[in-house]
Amino acid sequence: MKRLMLAAALVAVLTPACGKKGDPRAPELATPEPISNLTARQEPAGISLTWSRPASYVGGGEVKDLASFVIFRKDISPSCVGCPAPYRPLITVNVEDRQKFAKQNRYRFIDEQVQVETIYRYRVSSQLLDGSLSAPSNEVEVIRAP
């Protein structure tokens, strides 16, 4: 009986664990590549932002768990352009095509909550299903004209 228990324990120790999907990765490598093509332009309804979906993780591999994009905005007063102003989350744009065969590659959002003659800076981060965010995108600046 002792030999049987010893043999079972030895098999359990020497058998690799099931469910392993790959080597562990550092968290910073498991985030999507930062968006690099954020653009902004004025429209009658507000400021239009466009960007492309990230295709791969920083550490390589196709992004499969993209949940949303978080748009950050910084409002800069024309009377104090050099004053520090923090970026604040403006809105989260959900990705609706997670289970579909064809993925949406370009995204667009119109910020209608803008004031005339105010400077706005924007950047976007991708958000995964676990809530982690990518590094911020390139920064774009727009002055809302009258």
Flag residues of the chain having pLDDT under 70.
Answer: 1-29, 97-103
- pLDDT tens digits, 95-129: 976 555 556 789 999 999 999 888 999 999 999 99
- Is residue 86 a part of any domain in this protein? yes
- Predicted local confidence at residue 111, as pLDDT: 97
Length of the chain: 146
- Is residue 17 a part of any domain in this protein? no
- Predicted local confidence at residue 97, as pLDDT: 65
- Is residue 119 a part of any domain in this protein? yes
**Can you give the CATH number for the domain in which 48 is found?**
2.60.40.10
Mean of all residue pLDDT scores within the chain: 83
- Is residue 1 a part of any domain in this protein? no
| Total domain count, the chain | 1
**Of 108, 107, 106, 72, the residue nearest 91 (C-alpha):** 72
Phi and psi, residue 6, nearest 5° = -65, -40
Contact in structure between 124 and 53 (CB atoms under 8 Å): no
